[in-house]
């Protein structure tokens, strides 16, 4: 797909997370973004990089990851320019990562417009995604503001934050002023949001001029602005040691005055849970989604089974379960209880040691 790539368009891919809700497949040493979870032949990071390289010059794509993953990133992305890999010495959530990348980009091109995106999201309709991003870039040529992508909310999902927008003032291209960012709701609240028709899911993807987001840091989080002002990469350790751990939503987006949301619908999933993977994989006649070399199912329904090993797996009498088998750990968990996996992970570490998480 040929698109005119502008030299002032940049991307920041955030790739430092652990993906703990995907245990036992996702581990500290090899987290979710580096896995080929859907069996496409590419990791989620590779898919994200290739998608953005369609619209942004490769030399303008920065990856921010954890220092432990430096070699993994370079191995998976051979076309990534080495100076575009920023290795965080500590995990401090998304705001420091955005501040740091913004400063480095401003030093290269003060007129830059930046797309910021997580490494581990799935986008099924790439042509629509590319069109939406190009429309977002076009919007920012004419408006001063911060633009977030909001996903058309198709169901009352309690796993996502929501964005409440003002339907009365469309700016064109399905772009609206934001009224409020809303935390992950309970089911009844989520149902209210869906029925009201003026809420979308918060995707965690953003577009902004480098100068606009930097002004927002100066105004709303002067501490981070002072830490990263005129930043030099060799000072990253001392800079991060001074940062609080805070998300970009808390640090900036929830306080800023001029925030817009672009309503989009391009087959998005944040792949945040085994349940979200289940909905995307093909199902057999009993609604099971399976990825396994050697598997026999008897009276198993509506379950996801992922077997990474050469072991024969035989299951009988399960309904609505998650079964994940790796070389050193087996998880069997009801789908409705998968929010407990984060706590399970802590218990595994306490009982058996760090090497299993």
Q: Distance between CA atoms of 304 and 321, rounded to whole angstroms?
A: 6
Cα 241 to chain centroid, rounded? 24
Cβ-count burial 193-229 (b if 16+ within 10 Å, e if not): beeeeebbbbbbbbbbbbebbbebbeebbeebbebbe
Residue 344 burial (10 A CB sphere; 0-12, 13-18, 19+): middle
The whole-model pTM stands at 0.91
Sole residue written with tokens 């009365």: 168
pLDDT of residue 90: 96
Domain 9-269, CATH among 2.40.50.1070, 3.40.50.970, 3.40.50.720, 3.90.550.10: 3.90.550.10
Ranges in the chain, pLDDT < 70: 1-3
Sole residue written with tokens 């609206």: 176
Q: Distance between CA atoms of 283 and 288, rounded to whole angstroms?
A: 5
Q: What tokens were used for 340? A: 């407990």
pLDDT of residue 293: 85
pLDDT of residue 1: 43
Could you please report the per-residue DSSP string of 221-241?
A: -HHHHHHHTT--GGGHHHHHH
**Which residues neighbour 332 within 8 Å (Cβ) at sequence distance 6 or greater?**
321, 322, 323
Cα distances from 227 to residues 150, 179, 237, in angstroms, run: 30, 30, 11
Domain ranges of the chain: 9-269, 274-356
Q: Distance between CA atoms of 317 and 216, rounded to whole angstroms?
A: 55
Could you please report the per-residue DSSP string of 119-184?
A: TT-EES-HHHHHHHHHHHHHHHHH--SEEEEEEE--S--SSS-EEEE-TT---STTEEEEEEEEPP
DSSP strand E in the chain: where?
9-14, 61-66, 85-88, 113-118, 122-123, 146-152, 162-165, 175-182, 199-209, 259-264, 268-269, 289-291, 295-298, 304-307, 313-316, 321-325, 330-334
pLDDT in tens, 45-72: 999 999 999 999 999 999 999 999 999 9
């Amino acid at each position: 797909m040929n698109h005119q790539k502008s030299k002032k368009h940049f991307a920041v891919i955030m790739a430092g997370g652990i993906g703990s809700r995907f245990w036992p497949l996702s581990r500290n040493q090899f987290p979710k973004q580096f896995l080929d979870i859907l069996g496409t032949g590419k990791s989620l990071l590779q898919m994200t990089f290739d998608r953005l390289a369609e619209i942004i010059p490769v030399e303008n794509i920065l990856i921010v990851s954890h220092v432990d993953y430096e070699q993994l990133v370079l191995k998976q992305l051979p076309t990534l320019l080495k100076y575009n890999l920023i290795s965080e010495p500590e995990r401090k959530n998304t705001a420091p990562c955005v501040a740091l990348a913004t400063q480095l980009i401003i030093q290269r091109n003060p007129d830059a417009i930046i797309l910021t995106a997580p490494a581990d999201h799935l986008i099924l309709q790439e042509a629509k995604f590319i069109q939406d991003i190009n429309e977002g870039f076009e919007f920012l040529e004419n408006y001063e503001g911060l633009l977030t992508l909001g996903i058309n909310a198709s169901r009352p999902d309690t796993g996502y934050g929501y964005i409440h927008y003002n339907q009365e003032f469309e700016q064109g291209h399905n772009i609206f002023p934001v009224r409020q960012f809303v935390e992950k709701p309970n089911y009844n609240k989520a149902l209210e949001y869906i029925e009201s028709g003026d809420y979308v899911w918060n995707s965690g993807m953003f577009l902004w001029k480098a100068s606009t987001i930097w002004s927002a840091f100066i105004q709303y989080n002067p501490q981070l602005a002072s830490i990263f002002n005129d930043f030099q990469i060799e000072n990253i350790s001392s800079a991060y040691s001074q940062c609080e751990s805070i998300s970009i939503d808390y640090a900036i987006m929830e306080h800023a005055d001029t925030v817009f949301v672009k309503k989009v619908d391009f087959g998005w999933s944040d792949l945040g849970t085994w349940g979200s993977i289940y909905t995307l994989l093909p199902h057999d006649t009993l609604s099971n989604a399976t990825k396994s070399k050697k598997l026999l199912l008897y009276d198993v329904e509506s379950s996801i089974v992922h077997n990474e090993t050469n072991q024969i797996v035989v299951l009988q009498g399960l309904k609505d379960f998650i079964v994940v088998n790796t070389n050193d750990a087996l998880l069997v968990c009801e789908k409705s209880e998968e929010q407990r996996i984060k706590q399970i992970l802590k218990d595994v570490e306490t009982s058996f040691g760090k090497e299993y998480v």
